[in-house]
């Protein structure tokens, strides 16, 4: 901006947005001072930067607003976790599935964790059956992003919402 531009010549765009052409940096600074504006480097094109005559405060404010607008449009995706056991009752299972559906509808990913306690570890096939049941019940609303796998004393699976 202004005196920080070190190149001898710049491609200048005036305050109306019209291309003036290639002029010396001193002449561009003189034009900027005459108009009461700042000479701002918009793009670096090798040895010939593109500069524009604008109000630097307004320019920074517009950039800040543009960044905020882009950030506002983004959706933060969270990973929600639902914990199950191999001997889960039907009503408990239904409540957990209702929560999973709500999380998926909100656009969040869901991690299904099935934990084995004590002697349940010898019946891993029951746990896999519960995880497969979850996968089959949710195949309309969700896609499996990470298939079910055994990690120590638990089975985990990651589900993402279908668009």
Domains in the chain, please, with CATH?
Answer: 2-72 (3.10.20.80), 79-161 (3.30.110.10)
Question: Which residue from 126, 113, 85, 81 is spatially nearest to 100, judged by alpha carbons?
Answer: 81
pLDDT at 45: 74
Across residues 125-140, what is the average pLDDT?
Answer: 93
- The pLDDT tens digits of the residues spanning 3-17 come to 777 777 888 888 887
Share of the chain above pLDDT 70, in %: 99
Judge whether 33 and 18 are in contact, CB under 8 Å. no
Across residues 48-68, what is the average pLDDT?
Answer: 86
Cα–Cα distance, 97 to 146 (Å, whole number): 18
pTM listed for this prediction:
0.57
- The pLDDT tens digits of the residues spanning 65-104 come to 988 888 887 777 889 999 999 999 999 999 999 999 999 9
Judge whether 7 and 47 are in contact, CB under 8 Å. yes
Cα–Cα distance, 128 to 116 (Å, whole number): 11
Which pLDDT band, with edges at 50, 70 and 90, does 44 fall under? Answer: confident
Which pLDDT band, with edges at 50, 70 and 90, does 156 fall under? Answer: very high
Cα–Cα distance, 66 to 74 (Å, whole number): 13
Reduced to 3 DSSP states, what percent helix, strand and coil does the chain have, rounded to the nearest 5? 40, 35, 25
């Amino acid at each position: 901006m202004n005196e920080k531009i070190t190149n001898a010549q710049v491609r200048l765009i005036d305050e109306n947005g019209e291309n003036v052409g290639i002029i010396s940096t001193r002449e561009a600074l003189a034009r900027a001072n005459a108009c009461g504006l700042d000479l701002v480097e918009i793009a670096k094109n090798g040895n010939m930067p593109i500069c524009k005559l604008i109000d630097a405060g307004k320019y920074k404010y517009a950039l800040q607003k543009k960044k905020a607008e882009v950030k506002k449009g983004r959706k933060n995706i969270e990973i929600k976790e639902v914990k199950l056991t191999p001997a889960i009752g039907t009503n408990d299972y239904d409540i957990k599935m209702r929560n999973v559906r709500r999380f998926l509808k909100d656009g969040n990913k869901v991690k299904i964790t099935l934990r084995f306690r004590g002697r349940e570890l010898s019946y891993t096939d029951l746990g896999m059956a519960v995880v497969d049941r979850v996968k089959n019940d949710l195949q309309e609303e969700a896609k499996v992003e990470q298939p079910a796998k055994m990690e120590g004393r638990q089975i985990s699976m990651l589900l993402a919402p279908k668009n």
